[in-house]
Structure 1
Amino acid sequence: MDIKNRILERYSLLKKSSRIIADTVMDNPNQFLTKSAKELGEYTNTSAASIIRFCKQLGYKGLKEFQIDLAKSVVVDKKAPKSIDMIVKKDDSTDEVMTKLRVSLTQNLEDVSKTIDIKELNKAISLIGNAHSIYLEGIGASSFSAKDLFYKLIRSGRTIFYNDDIHIALERSYYSTAQDVMICFSYSGLTKEILLAVKQARKNGTPVIAVTRKATSPLSKLADVKLLLPKNELLLRVGAINSTFAEMFISNLLYLCTITNDLPKVKKEMEETSKLLSELKERND
């Protein structure tokens, strides 16, 4: 079992200092290849004892054995820069798959909470709250979060636009104004269709909120407000799992924060729309 999977399987059992070390290993494995326990303790703001304890918690006798195994993983990564993030292995049992997914998603949500800049979030909430119309953009896996936010906000009485057909979405972006806001979901920040919509919005003076990974990208450079996702998933992956959950978390966060200032009105409108939809359901009386 490689070090990444060892860490994922044991992560929920680790204490605070060990989690800090685990996070640092996942982000910067090369830093752990040659440093002593004391140096790594200083690097991670923990201690030499915490480094040794972490290695033993992963099943190694000590730091040297850990570093040897880590070096093998780093070499494999360098030889396969376009490797696919599979998360699971061929012979994993259903119980192992469930454990890996649970640990991965739990850590993912913690990472999202740490990555989001509250000041940026407040800017986004203000823009959405004051916007005349809201334009939502997202394709592929990122369309799930955009569509979910669309369905939620439309029930709260907002004027909001979302189209699965990217051609229609692009045409609609032409009509955005400085009084509106555009919210774009794109983990990579590289999707051409999204970038075209953003560039049109910029021409129109429309503020742009980007929900994207924590990395420099064309989208992050164009956005007025950035709600950043943890960079914990390869762009080439077996399924957009962590990134989709992270985007959905932010989608729900934007929705809940947006309606908090007007809950009585939103509640009344939802009750009325629910009555309207009840006409579509069969009655048993």
Structure 2
Amino acid sequence: MAINDNILIKIRDMKLSLTPVERMVADFILDNLEEVPLLSVKELATQSKTSDASVLRFCKTMGYSGYRSFIVSISASLGSMDEEQKNQYTDIQPGDSLSTIITNISHNNSKSIEDTLSVIDREEIARAVEAIGACSRIAFFGVGASGLVGQDAEQKFLRINKICRAYTDSHSQLTAAALLGKEDVAVFISNSGSTSDILEALDISVKNGCKTIAITKHSKSELAQKSDIVLHISTPELTFRSGAMGSRIAMLTVVDILFAGVASAEYHHVKKYLAKTHNVLSGKHR
């Protein structure tokens, strides 16, 4: 669990991947935030029209060993809710003025980063940085906007002389996954965690003994469940493309964190590569 985990954001992000009964508990909690910390297990079960066992299973799904620790976390998260309510995601509507669009897109992107930082697990980040630093090569897998994030990661890690490549179409992904081995790291980038091409490449990578890292939203997705290391992002469920924009910004932020973490840990070794690539690239702008 993330050090600064905001359980309310986690419930919101995971809601669509929950079972129907778990979703009933989630909906009641999100609709009755002030009341929930005062309720017993039985009272929450009754008011959410579920059962004691269902409430306890929900707590376990959210990463808590018991109801008490879950309620304590709810109470802690409520402390920031006044400000949170003022800073909700805002969808883009047809006919919005350019000024409104500029404000809303900027706000949503900033909030995606803030919410991601409140749910991402620092220990998982550390494990990912260690794995990438020690591996022989890195393969980034992504489709569509997630593929662009993978290409950004490739560009960054090449600068510190890491052998890496981004794969953005199904054929190249399957070929690359088949050639990965135990000394390699595969990074799978998918907001939904359910993209079929990504999952197929993941299965092949796992069979080859490759270390796998997922960058995906909070969910019980197949990608999150099968990967060795999971780096969660938080994104809004919006009907317009601003939702997809926010997820891309959040994933790019995670890539930046991983790159900076590896470069910092190995700075004595990679600084010469950073200097060389900087000098070459700066020469192109003269």
Question: Could you state the TM-score of these two structures normalised by the residue count of structure 2?
Answer: 0.69
Structure 2 counterpart of 1:260, from 258, 264, 269: 264
The answer (yes or no) to whether the contact 1:212–1:229 under 8 Å persists in 2 is: yes
CA distance in structure 1 between the aligned counterparts of 2:281 and 2:96, rounded to whole angstroms: 44
Residues 1:29 and 1:262: Cα distance change in structure 2 (over 3 Å): same
Q: Which residue of 2 aligns with 1:39?
A: 35
Residues 1:268 and 1:178: Cα distance change in structure 2 (over 3 Å): same
CA distance in structure 2 between the aligned counterparts of 1:23 and 1:207, rounded to whole angstroms: 28
The answer (yes or no) to whether the contact 1:180–1:207 under 8 Å persists in 2 is: yes
- The 5-angstrom pairing of residues 107-118 of structure 1 reads 107-118=111-122
Residues 1:40 and 1:131: Cα distance change in structure 2 (over 3 Å): same
Task: Compute the RMSD of aligned alpha carbons.
Answer: 3.3
The answer (yes or no) to whether the contact 2:90–2:108 under 8 Å persists in 1 is: no
Q: Which residue of 2 aligns with 1:249?
A: 253
CA distance in structure 2 between the aligned counterparts of 1:171 and 1:91, rounded to whole angstroms: 45
Residues 1:92 and 1:276: Cα distance change in structure 2 (over 3 Å): closer
CA distance in structure 1 between the aligned counterparts of 2:34 and 2:214, rounded to whole angstroms: 40
Ranges in structure 2 where 5+ consecutive residues have no aligned partner: 1-5, 14-25, 40-73
Matched, 1:127 2:127: no
Residues 1:92 and 1:258: Cα distance change in structure 2 (over 3 Å): same
Residues 1:42 and 1:211: Cα distance change in structure 2 (over 3 Å): same
- The 5-angstrom pairing of residues 163-178 of structure 1 reads 163-178=167-182
Q: Which residue of 2 aligns with 1:191?
A: 195
CA distance in structure 2 between the aligned counterparts of 1:214 and 1:259, rounded to whole angstroms: 27
Structure 1 counterpart of 2:92, from 68, 88, 93: 88
Structure 2 counterpart of 1:217, from 197, 201, 221: 221
Matched, 1:151 2:155: yes
Give the structure with higher Rg (CA).
1
The answer (yes or no) to whether the contact 2:140–2:150 under 8 Å persists in 1 is: yes
Structure 2 counterpart of 1:160, from 160, 164, 174: 164
Q: How far apart are residue 100 of structure 1 and its match?
A: 1.7
CA distance in structure 2 between the aligned counterparts of 1:23 and 1:114, rounded to whole angstroms: 8
Structure 2 counterpart of 1:156, which letter?
I
CA distance in structure 1 between the aligned counterparts of 2:271 and 2:223, rounded to whole angstroms: 35
Q: How far apart are residue 96 of structure 1 and its match?
A: 1.8
Q: Which residue of 2 aligns with 1:17?
A: none
CA distance in structure 1 between the aligned counterparts of 2:172 and 2:112, rounded to whole angstroms: 33
CA distance in structure 2 between the aligned counterparts of 1:219 and 1:24, rounded to whole angstroms: 17
Aligned residue pairs, count: 229
Q: How far apart are residue 31 of structure 1 and its match?
A: 4.1
Residues 1:251 and 1:237: Cα distance change in structure 2 (over 3 Å): same
Residues 1:214 and 1:99: Cα distance change in structure 2 (over 3 Å): same
- Any idea what SS the aligned residue of 1:162 has? strand
Q: How far apart are residue 270 of structure 1 and its match?
A: 2.5
Residues 1:45 and 1:185: Cα distance change in structure 2 (over 3 Å): same
Residues 1:237 and 1:197: Cα distance change in structure 2 (over 3 Å): farther
- Any idea what SS the aligned residue of 1:209 has? strand
Matched, 1:139 2:169: no
CA distance in structure 1 between the aligned counterparts of 2:122 and 2:279, rounded to whole angstroms: 37
Residues 1:196 and 1:91: Cα distance change in structure 2 (over 3 Å): same
CA distance in structure 2 between the aligned counterparts of 1:105 and 1:282, rounded to whole angstroms: 30
Between the aligned residues of both structures, percent identity stands at 26
Residues 1:26 and 1:102: Cα distance change in structure 2 (over 3 Å): farther
CA distance in structure 1 between the aligned counterparts of 2:105 and 2:245, rounded to whole angstroms: 9
Deviations 1:157-212 (A, max 9, x none): 11112233431222121111111110110001111111111111111000100001
Structure 2 counterpart of 1:238, from 241, 247, 268: 241
Residues 1:146 and 1:117: Cα distance change in structure 2 (over 3 Å): same
Q: Which residue of 1 aligns with 2:66?
A: none
- Any idea what SS the aligned residue of 1:87 has? coil
- Any idea what SS the aligned residue of 2:192 has? coil
Structure 1 counterpart of 2:204, which letter?
Q
Structure 1 counterpart of 2:35, which letter?
E
The answer (yes or no) to whether the contact 1:86–1:238 under 8 Å persists in 2 is: no
- Relative contact order, higher structure (CA 8 A, sep 6+): 2
Q: How far apart are residue 214 of structure 1 and its match?
A: 0.3
Structure 1 counterpart of 2:112, which letter?
N
Structure 1 counterpart of 2:190, which letter?
S
CA distance in structure 2 between the aligned counterparts of 1:32 and 1:174, rounded to whole angstroms: 44
The answer (yes or no) to whether the contact 2:149–2:248 under 8 Å persists in 1 is: yes
Ranges in structure 1 where 5+ consecutive residues have no aligned partner: 1-19, 59-84
